[in-house]
Chains A and B, each alone.
Chain A
Amino acid sequence: SYFLTQPPSVSVAPGKTARVTCGGNNVGTQSVHWYQQRPGQAPVLVIYDNNDRPSGIPERFSGSNSGNTATLTISGVEAGDEADYYCQVWHRSRGVFGGGTKLTV
């Protein structure tokens, strides 16, 4: 089985930069997708293929992926960014999600 490891929580002050990591064996060779889930809502895609943004997602959201770690970076964090964030890959006929990171602003 393949696992993705995320920190349970990250705290950041408004206006600062938040970084959420996603660790996995050679994850840098895979395409990582990131989802934001606000309380009581369905997940929303915020980054796909490591560093691409869907339309409507602010430029403040960016991603990177190398070696054993993928990172979601949120610049100029706003109160509305407070949510759970999940990374996801496809690996050997399986969808794999990280355990999720609660971002507190």
Chain B
Amino acid sequence: QVQLVESGGGLVKPGGSLKLSCLVSGFTFNDHYMSWIRQAPGKGLEWISYIDTLGNVIYYADSVRGRFTVSRDNARNTMSLQTNNLRSEDTAVYYCARGQDYIWGSPHDFWGQGTLVVVSS
């Protein structure tokens, strides 16, 4: 069955860095685009990044552009999110989500359970 498992979250001081990972199984990873989506405590969903099947097309939300970097390793079935210069407003549960297929515009049809990032001094 399709599984997405995030890891790498934790407590970090403002200005610090974390690398989040999403390990997937149960499907052909390089047939699907992937996204990172976050949810601050008690708040709604916020899309933050998209990466296409080969890692050639990448988009970011304005709130993280220049600080976060997404990548994928299709051989290892893994997507990563390097987060730098973290701010208190980056505190959230970070979800990785699978695109239904490779097509831009298709929905996120499977989500991981999320990893919590807390930015606090």
Which residues of A come within 8 Å of B, CB atoms?
A: 1, 31, 33, 35, 37, 42-45, 48-49, 54, 84, 86, 88, 90, 93-100
Contact = CB atoms under 8 A, between A and B. Distances in A.
B27 interface: no
Interface stretch (B12-20, B70-78, B99-107): B99-107
B109 A86 contact: no
11 contacts: A43-B97, A43-B108, A43-B111, A86-B44, A86-B45, A88-B45, A95-B35, A97-B45, A97-B46, A99-B44, A100-B45
Contacts of A48: 100, 106-107, 109
Nearest to A48: B107
Interface of B: 35, 37, 44-47, 50, 59, 61-62, 95, 97, 100, 104-109, 111-114
A44 to B, nearest CB: 7
B47 A95 contact: yes
Closest 4 pairs between A and B when the two form their complex, measured CB to CB: A95-B47, A33-B107, A48-B107, A100-B44
Contacts of B108: 33, 35, 43, 45, 88
Contact of A94 (B59, B97, B107): B59
A44 B59 CA distance: 23
B106 to A, nearest CB: 7
Contacts of B104: 90
A94 B47 contact: yes
A94 B61 contact: yes
A98 B97 CA distance: 17
B99 to A, nearest CB: 10
Nearest to B97: A43
